[in-house]
Every structure is written in C-alpha cells, then in structure tokens.
Structure 1
C-alpha cells in the first residue's frame, strides 16, 4: 500500500490547526503541524512534506517569508494559503509561486482536502488500525 501524502500545516491558531489536522488525518493524510514559519522550516528539514498548508499572519516567520523560503528549496511543492488578510495586490498571485492556491478564512476543511487532492492526486485510503 502506498505511503500517505505528508501535509505540513503552518498555523498559529491552535484550534484551527487541530481541526484541520484531524480532518485531513481522518481522510488518509499524514499531517504535521507547526505554529509558525520557523518551526515549519525546521520540520520540513527533518521530514519533507508533499504539500504545505499555511496561514499568512504568524509570529517569528510569516507565511509570505515561509513560502519564499520553501520556494528556494522546492519550487514545485504545492502550497495552500488560508488567510483573513489577503490583499488584491498580493505578490502571491504571481505565477512564480505556483503551484499555490489561496483561500480566505474561514475555510471549510473540505475545500482544503479537495484542493490537496487536485494538487497531489488521489489520496490513499486510510488503513484501519
């Protein structure tokens, strides 16, 4: 059986991170959570992810800086942004950041799941414990 896709969530709102982690784990992903961009980069160095789901406003290293740092290492890592603070003139809409999808908060976890499926391909079925 194929390994589950590894998703890294970078989100400083603990309840939002836990809810998304539970939702994605239940649907067959392996999920790690980081509270900020610095922690996310440390986790990626130890355990590479198949996709990144990130907030933009976080302490220590915000989502913009995180995405730039990730793109320096892996230009093709799928990134899903969920934010309440996106402006129309955001640099993130530029083609150089693709593959990237942006959603305004609050985001339905199903939307994130469906986006990850579209970006990564079919999600392996979770194994019964």
Structure 2
C-alpha cells in the first residue's frame, strides 16, 4: 500500500512539475517585441511551414478581415480582433493600405507573436509563442 501511495505521489508530482516547466516557456508578443522582434507577415512563415500555412489559409482566421466590409466597422474595437498586432507593430490606422495588407486577418503572428527572431534563428524555440491567452478574447 505504501508503494502504491509513493508511486502515485511521484506521478502526480511529475505531472505538476511538467506543467510548471511548460508555463515558464510561455511568452507573450510584448516579450518578443522587447527582445527586438518585429512582425513579418505570414508569407514568411509559409517558406518553412507550408502545410501549416495551408491549414491556416483554409481557416476562418485567414478571411476574418473581410467581415469588416463597411468603413464604420474598421475601427479600433473591431480591428483589434480582425487584424494581427493592431497598433503594436502590425496593423495600424496610420499605415497605408499596402503596408497593412500583410496584417489583415488573424495571421500566424496573431497567435505566435512577431516572427523576425524566429526566422533568423529558427532553432531557438523561445523566439516564438507556444501558447497565448489572446485566443480567449474571441474564443470563449
């Protein structure tokens, strides 16, 4: 009985230790921007992640900007969720339509943060967000 309790305790401890170590890896877009990362657009992601890009391109995330057809919907409240990195280095009301084009929709960087550091050093996994709380703003 003592062995069963000991083994059970070790399993539970291991489980919680893994959760704690994983949560330590989670960074946010602001953390990456502070490290010097910039937003590059999903076309850059496509070069190495073609299959994932195809999944994204077939998803609603890739077309969500189109829901803002009328100019009155293109305001900060709507753009915050229908673009990538609104006013934090990505889509901006101050930028031209051409510059903003790569930040329309919820792109790869909308979930994973600015990708420039990951592109230059793809093996350094801390240069990309593994999880984010941003999703829960729209997906409850």
Question: Which range, TM-score by smaller chain?
Answer: under 0.3
Structure having the higher helix fraction is: 2
Please, what TM-score do these two structures have when normalized by structure 2? 0.26
Which structure exhibits the higher relative contact order, with contacts defined as CA atoms closer than 8 Å and separated by 6 or more residues?
Answer: 2
Structure number with greater Rg is: 2
Please, what TM-score do these two structures have when normalized by structure 1? 0.27
Structure having the higher strand fraction is: 1
